[in-house]
Amino acid sequence: MHDVDDDGIRRMWQEQPREERIMSTSEIRMKAALLDDRVRRNNAGAAVAFGVILIANLLQLVMRGQHSYERAGAALIVVAAASMLWLYWRARSTAVRLDESGLSCVAFYRAQLVRQQKLAGRFWLCVLAFLPGILLSLLGGISASPLTPSRLAGLAVGGLLWIAVVVWMIVRGMRRVQADLDELDASDMS
């Protein structure tokens, strides 16, 4: 089997006709600036929209909440949202474009996987930050207008299901990343 040469397939690969023309450096510079602008606009837009909608809604709830638990919960959610926005902004402003740094492919891949693991860890931080506020708000809402036992049970089951799905997705993602890291370590040694 191994006597057969694979030159034909390599030649076929290398002889593929070109489809794209080479861009001039002024074109590249223009496109890079456009790309930066788009990323900056998207990030700023998302942050502003997230902040405005959340804070406006929650401030309204703090002002008009009927129960003190609800108000306290809403205030905690505002604090959590503000902290998350600040953390996100800090992470963005200190981020290094690793793909421009000329790292070897394995080192780059490993760094990206580790980054994904850290991001998943930050998600837990996010859940922990919001959870007390959400629970207090729910408690306040239930105290203000008591629910029938069946609705309360439905709410509890729905909430638990939602939490279970989110946890399952995060754990699955983290396991996948860990498996990739293990595979990378094993292949690096072989």
Partner 1 sequence: MADFEGRSRRDDLYTEAAAQYGSALERLARGYEGDPDRRRDLLQEIHIVLWRSFDRFDGRCSLRTWVYRVAHNAATSLVLRRRVRTPTLTGLDEVAEMKGEVDVEHSVNRQHALARLMELIRTLRPVDRQVMLLYLDGVDAGTIADVVGLSPSNVATRVHRVKQILVRQFYEREP
Query: Based on CB atoms, which residue is closest to partner 1, 111 or 134?
Result: 111
Residues between 159 and 178 with contacts to partner 1, criterion CB under 8 A:
176
Over the window 32 to 61, marking each residue x when it contacts partner 1 by CB under 8 A and - when it does not, the resulting string is x--x--------------------------
Query: Based on CB atoms, which residue is closest to partner 1, 121 or 158?
Result: 121
SS3 of the chain: the string is: CCCCCCHHHHHHHHCCCCCCCCCCHHHHHHHHHHHHHHHHHHHHHHHHHHHHHHHHHHHHHHHHCCCHHHHHHHHHHHHHHHHHHHHHHHHHHHCCCHHHCCCCHHHHHHHHHHHHHHHHHHHHHHHHHHHHHHHHHHHHHHHHCCCCHHHHHHHHHHHHHHHHHHHHHHHHHHHHHHHHHHHHHHHHHC
Query: Based on CB atoms, which residue is closest to partner 1, 83 or 112?
Result: 112
Rounded Cα–Cα distance for residues 74 and 65 (Å): 9
149 counts as binding partner 1 under rule CB under 8 A: no
Rounded Cα–Cα distance for residues 184 and 22 (Å): 35
23 counts as binding partner 1 under rule CB under 8 A: yes
Rounded Cα–Cα distance for residues 148 and 154 (Å): 10
Residues between 96 and 125 with contacts to partner 1, criterion CB under 8 A:
97-109, 112-113, 116
Sole window of 26-34, 38-46, 48-56, 131-139 interacting with partner 1 (rule: CB under 8 A): 26-34
4 counts as binding partner 1 under rule CB under 8 A: yes
Rounded Cα–Cα distance for residues 163 and 167 (Å): 6
93 counts as binding partner 1 under rule CB under 8 A: no
Sole window of 1-9, 58-66, 87-95, 124-132 interacting with partner 1 (rule: CB under 8 A): 1-9
Sole window of 17-25, 41-49, 58-66, 121-129 interacting with partner 1 (rule: CB under 8 A): 17-25
Write out the residues near partner 1 by the rule CB under 8 A. 1-2, 4, 6, 8-10, 12-14, 16, 18-20, 22-23, 25, 28-29, 31-32, 35, 97-109, 112-113, 116, 176, 180, 183-184, 187-188, 190
